[in-house]
Amino acid sequence: MLSLIRSLGKNRRLLSDMVRRDLRARYVGSAMGFFWSVIFPLLNLVIYMFVFSFVLKNRWDPGQTDQETALLMLAGILVWNAFAETMSRSTNTLVENQNLIQKIVFPSEILPVYLAISSLVNMLIGVAIALIAVAFYAWVSPMVPVAGAPPPMHAIGFSYTLAALPLLLAVQLVFTVGLGFVFSTLNLFARDVFHIMGVALTVGMFMTPIFYPARMVQEAGMGWVLKCNPMYWLIDSYRRVLVYGLWPQLPIVGAFAVVALIVFLLGATFFSRQKPRFPDLL
């Protein structure tokens, strides 16, 4: 396990090369290139605004405006997408790179790591778009409060609490890489894992309050589901920072960090125990 972390340090240049290539590979050969990274979150924002304010007329809380709902959804989906993308890609990454693993001496532990970093960097582009939208609705075109409703719980906007962002990214990275180690290895034992992962991610997305408020789950008496869902803790923390300019709640971030660390340690141990067998398992 320690040798695995040391190997990551030793191969950091290869790691950064692979991240750079992966970010470029997303759009190489497409005419709009990098702008797709900008267009996707923008498009998401517009769609949520349209669907939830014109079609469903769904508001999470009385007193919440359509724009606020859309921004909360955007923040949630950005984080979830980065997580889901890494999970589905890293589950299959050892199989995809079998020519490297079987034909040359290759530090396979960098594969789940570079995928996670690449997704996070890509997510940051979306985060920047989200912050621009937050600034726009907070200061340029403030929202009109709903008549007769109670005043909003928090005002939207961001502040110096953005300083918590690197911490959130770091714990997210540790959590995602740890799971990546586990599932990339498991997938060598049974390739079904890759297919199960696709289903599990869809289920996970709807189990996590991204398109509906956590309050609805609690009112339905299903609050325990949220208590066992670390991704909800993470998304909730991101929302506080990005949409409301608040500090994340320490117990929640702390709990996530502990879970992330445990997952990472277990994953890295499992991965490095099985690593000598990779060429034979492929």
Give the residues lining the site for other proteins (CB under 8 A).
Answer: 13-14, 17-18, 21, 24-25, 28-29, 97, 99-106, 186, 188-191, 276, 279-281
From CA 24, how far away is CA 28, in angstroms rounded? Answer: 6
How wide is the angle at C-alpha 166 spanned by C-alphas 42 and 229, nearest 5°? Answer: 75
The least distance separating other proteins from the CB of residue 125, rounded to whole angstroms, comes to 20
Q: Residue 15 Cβ, how far from other proteins at the closest point, in Å?
A: 10
Residue 58 CB, nearest distance to other proteins (Å)? Answer: 41
**Token code pair at residue 266:** 């277990």
| Cβ closest to other proteins, residue 107 vs residue 142 | 107
Q: Which is nearer to other proteins, 192 or 219 (CB)?
A: 192
Residue number, 23 or 72, with CB nearest to other proteins: 23
Closest contact distance (angstroms) between CB of 11 and other proteins is 9
* CB-CB contact of 15 with 110 (8 Å): yes
Least Å from the CB of residue 275 to other proteins? 10
Nearer of residues 8 and 281 to other proteins, judged by Cβ:
281
Name the strand (E) or helix (H) holding 90. Answer: helix 66-96
CA distance 275 to 45: 42
CA atoms of 180 and 174, how far apart (whole Å) = 10
Cβ proximity to other proteins: between 67 and 108 the closer is 108
Q: Phi/psi of residue 189, each to 5°?
A: -80, -35
3-state class (DSSP) for residue 57: coil
